[in-house]
Structure 1
């Protein structure tokens, strides 16, 4: 890692990920083993220890001791996808060692892990909405009746309930339309509108610049994105650079936004996602008519 930091030959976010994996998981086992003595069973011990930590967190979450449950809420269980990234980090280190003739093979490549299953997106149908509301109301009453629990706001209970049919839930056009109607006076309305109708990633929408936007022609170049790296905002290229356009009819429905007044910060070069849009007509439901993605 020190070599990569010195040469600056990988992205900062990747380097921070490698260091995090070492400090939180692999270092506990591998730091006490000589590099040429790292075999597949050695790497497997890393993931055995991860499973032990996961069991401790889950058990603490069910404890009668309030302080123990509070500690458990500050921890996260390491899932299959993270385990595979940890394995990739170990493999990267061993690959560097192989190039320097310090080891003869990549022991991490011989370790088998459970596949990381991708969550299936489900639509919030009326039946699913009704079933969720009923289950959440019952769960909220149980939390309120539990004397061991501190007083929670309903939104906190909702975020931790785990009652959603899938980790990835999709709004219907009518539900998205209702959200945008509710957020129409919010200072980030233009940002929500852009993401909803053009499908930009969050970082791409936040990184959009005035120089990449042509309101007259209805054209926006998705060239930059903002990400958080080591608690700092960093600008980088888009993961999938592309232009995004709209038809004339749909572009006229775009909230009329004028460039912000010059400010003494870099934010003045951005598309005004945080500035007022004076003319906002009620939008059509996305995915219909002229709003079909080009």
Structure 2
């Protein structure tokens, strides 16, 4: 009896702290009573905690997170010590996941990026880090994982959608889709690992925005560009403009490269990474197996953009002749040609890099005095040329290295004006075969 009284007295003197520290964590009791003078909660200092039915039970435990760092987790509101101890025991069965649930979204995104280092292409990682650091962390980085809700993510996306980027334009629909995809992927990983119960990134709505489609530089668009300086987001040359460019660069050492990009449409990293062992001059074939990417100034070799990017392209006789002449020039200059050597080199034998090709192409375009296009727009134009030449959609999709024909249809195929006129004339002729037209109108059509 004396011992019970002493324990009760000790509990009151120490502010009602009834705790036990062991490997299972710290279990204690506290209440919501407030001080009559200051109005502050007494918490564990309330003298009434000596009463059996006063206050609620809590626990605190140190857990090792999934990143091997320690974090303190607190839970409370239990009716008895036994309930608090049981909840603490359950929590300790999956300590890493519960600890991660206490993280802010910033910490989780940084952990998720580090976990994917090496699993994704370096260029993809650079893009992901840019979206995380520029958009997601400033908007949502302070929110704890367990408290993140879909409404929070939606409000953040709404704010981002009203941001302006370079040139005073609103942020593009493509960038918004990329931000949403990164957030959804990171939160899906958190859900798979038990950090959160559901993915708040699912169901986010974005403003309606059409994917930019390539248009052809015609006289009207070129005049508007000369007058205002405003150019279409994605514009490709017409056939005559491609012809003017290729005629002007025939003496360039990399003429074979410009020709292949304009005709077959490989990506710049794919054409830069091409090796002689990838070219079959006898059968007239070129195989895309890898690409070069430059990440923070460092050149890296890796697979093409997708599995569909590994492909074999047929070559015409003129392309084969160009590559054969290039092979002989390199043999005379360097003495021999290693099959594993890159096809396109500088004068000193160094392989060309994708970023250098972009700058070189822009300089050539300026010298030729043509409306501006990117090097990648030659790829768009190659798809348009193939379509105008009557090549089937499936073949164009395979040649471009697209996973689905939807990408080819929505983004790459642009119909040149002269081809469009031929198409509508052919359609009208077919329709007129089944329509009796008055002589005056028929004469006008024939004219």
- TM-score normalized by the length of structure 2: 0.47
| C-alpha displacement of 1:2 | 3.0
| Matching of residues 201-220 of structure 1 within 5 Å | 201-220=267-286
Q: How many residues align?
A: 238
Query: With structure 1 as the length reference, what TM-score do the two structures score?
Result: 0.68
The Cα shift of 1:99 comes to 1.6
Matches within 5 A, 1:1-294: 1-2=110-111, 4-6=113-115, 8-54=118-164, 77-124=170-217, 128-129=218-219, 131-139=220-228, 161-164=229-232, 167-238=233-304, 239=306, 240-248=309-317, 251-252=320-321, 256-258=325-327, 259=330, 261=333, 269-272=341-344, 274=346
User: Higher relative CO (CA 8 A, sep ≥ 6), structure 1 or 2?
Assistant: 1
Whether the aligned pair in 2 keeps the contact of 1:40 and 1:107 (CA below 8 Å) is: yes
After superposition, the C-alpha distances for 1:92-124 in whole angstroms (9 at most, x for unaligned) are 121111122111111111211124422222333
Structure 2 residues not aligned, in runs of 5+: 1-109, 349-384, 400-447
Shifted more, 200-209 versus 224-233: the winner is 224-233
Q: Give the secondary-structure state (helix, strand or coil) at the position aligned to 2:202.
A: helix
Alpha-carbon contact 1:208-1:271 (below 8 Å) kept: yes
- Contact conserved, 1:222 with 1:242, CA < 8 A, in 2? yes
Contact 2:275–2:342 (CA under 8 A) maintained in structure 1: yes
User: Deviation at 1:39?
Assistant: 0.6
- The offset of 1:90, in angstroms, is 1.0
For residues 186-244 of structure 1, what are the alpha-carbon distances to aligned partners after superposition, in whole Å with 9 as ceiling and x for unaligned?
A: 23212101112222122211111111123333222111111233443221112311111
Distance 2:235 2:325 in 1: 31
* Deviations 1:143-188 (CA, angstroms, capped at 9, x unpaired): xxxxxxxxxxxxxxxxxx2244xx3323233221110111112232
Tell me the SS of whatever aligns to 1:110: coil
Q: Secondary structure at the match of 2:290?
A: strand
Contact 1:180–1:192, Cα closer than 8 Å, also in 2: yes
Q: Is the contact between residue 214 and residue 234 of structure 2 (CA under 8 Å) also seen in structure 1?
A: yes
Distance 2:236 2:180 in 1: 31
- State the 1:4 CA deviation: 4.8
The answer (yes or no) to whether the contact 1:190–1:255 under 8 Å persists in 2 is no
Residues 233 and 192 of structure 1: CA distance in aligned 2, closer, same or farther (over 3 Å): same
Change (3 A) 1:48 1:231: farther
